[in-house]
Amino acid sequence: MKVLITGSNGFLGNIINQKLKSSCDIYTLGRQNSDYCIDLSSRKSINFTQKFDLVIHAAGKAHMIPKTSIDNDSFFNINVEGTRYLLKSLQSSSIPKQFVFISSVSVYGSNRGILINENADLKAVDPYGKSKIQAEAIVQKWCNENNVLCTILRLPLIVGPNPPGNLGAMIRGIKKGYYFNIAGGNAQKSVVLAEDIANFIIDASMVGGIYNLTDGYHPTFNELSKVISFQLGKIGVYNLPKSLAKMFAFTGDIFGKLFPFNTNMYNKITSTLTFDDSAAKRAFGWNPKPVIENLDIL
C-alpha cells in the first residue's frame, strides 16, 4: 500500500509514520525533511509523482489561543486553504482510493458534556474549531465527488512522547513545581494515545465514516497529575480550593489579557468533557489502552 502522510514531522504524523513504515510504502509531506517539502498554506500546487492508495492528512495548525488577528487567520490559511490546495493537487495527479482526515473534538464547540457522540451539532465558534469544521466539509465533498472512501477522526487531547500543547505544559509545570489542580482536579477529560491512533488508522481507513477516538476511560486531571508526578519523582501537586480559584478567575475577568486566568478558563478546567467512541468500536474494532496505565513521559 502506498501511503502519503502530510504533517509527517509533526507530533502525531511522525508517530503514524514510524508505525506504518514497516508495512506500507510511505511518502511524506512537510515543510522540511520530507519527500514533498512544501508549506500547504503557501497555496502552491504539488506535482505528485506517485499514485497513492491512502492519504493521511495530519498537517494543520494545532489548537492554541490566538492572540492577534494574524493568529486567527493562520487557522484558516493552514487548516482550510492548506487542505483545499492539497486536494486540488491530488485531483491533478494522484486521486487516492482512501483519505483520512485528522480532525478534532473541538468541532463540537462544547466546554462540558458527557459522552458526546458524532451526531452532536458542530457549534464551534473559536478559530481552530471553525477551521476544522470547514476543512471536514471540504474533504467530504471532494471525496464524494471523486469516489474516495473518506474517514474523519475527531481526536481529543493526544498523549505520546514529548507531547505539545496542554499536556506538555502540564508536564513542565509539574516538573518545575508550579502546576496545581483546581477544586481537586476531579473533572474528567477525554484523551487518547497517539500510538493507538497509529495502530488503528489503516483499519479506520478501510471502512470510512466519522469517528471520535478516546481511551475509553476519560481520566481526571487529578489522576493524570498523579501519574506524571510519580514518573517525575515528585511528591504530588498543589490543589487550589474552589473559592480561591473563583477569586483569581474574577480578577482575570477584570484585568483581561494581563492576567492568565479568568472565569472562562475556570469553567473549562472544572467541567467534565468526554466523548463517545462506541461508533469506532463497532465499525473497525477500536480497542484503546487507558492513558493513565500507559503514559510514559520519561
What is the CATH topology of the domain spanning 2-161+191-216+273-290? Rossmann fold (3.40.50)
Supply the pLDDT for residue 70. Answer: 55
φ, ψ of residue 173 to 5 degrees: the values are -65, -40
φ, ψ of residue 152 to 5 degrees: the values are -120, 125
Q: Give the residue with greater pLDDT, 260 vs 12.
A: 12
**pLDDT tens by residue, 201-243:** 999 999 999 999 999 999 999 999 999 999 999 988 999 999 9
C-alpha cell at 188: 474528567
Distance CA 30, CA 87 (A): 15
Supply the pLDDT for residue 293. Answer: 95
**pLDDT tens by residue, 43-102:** 777 899 999 999 999 999 875 555 555 567 788 999 999 999 999 999 988 899 999 999
Nearest to 191 by CA among 291, 80, 61: 291
Q: Give the residue with greater pLDDT, 252 vs 189.
A: 189
- Listed by start position, the domains of the chain span 2-161+191-216+273-290
Nearest to 236 by CA among 192, 173, 183: 173
φ, ψ of residue 193 to 5 degrees: the values are -80, 130
Supply the pLDDT for residue 94. Answer: 86
Average pLDDT of the segment spanning 101-130: 96
Strands 36-37 and 209-212, by their bridges, are: unpaired
Average pLDDT of the segment spanning 138-166: 95
Supply the pLDDT for residue 69. Answer: 52
| pTM (global) more than 0.75 | yes
| Exposure b/e, 251-267, CB count within 10 A at least 16 = b | ebeeeeeeeebbeebbe
> Taking all residues of the chain, what is their mean pLDDT, rounded to a whole number?
93
What percentage of the chain reaches a pLDDT higher than 90? 77
Measured N-to-C along each axis, helices 221-232 and 165-176 cross at an angle, to the nearest 10 degrees, of: 50
**pLDDT tens by residue, 174-187:** 999 989 999 999 99
Q: Give the residue with greater pLDDT, 153 vs 63.
A: 153
pLDDT band per the 50, 70, 90 thresholds, residue 3: very high
Distance CA 3, CA 283 (A): 22
Q: Give the residue with greater pLDDT, 13 vs 264.
A: 13
- Please give the distance of CA 219 from its chain centroid, rounded to a whole number: 17
Least confident of 63-77, 146-160, 279-293: 63-77
Positive or negative, the CA dihedral 15, 16, 22, 25 is: negative
Supply the pLDDT for residue 90. Answer: 95
Task: Outline where the chain has alpha helix (H).
Answer: 11-20, 69-75, 82-93, 127-145, 165-176, 194-205, 221-232, 242-255, 263-270, 278-284, 291-294
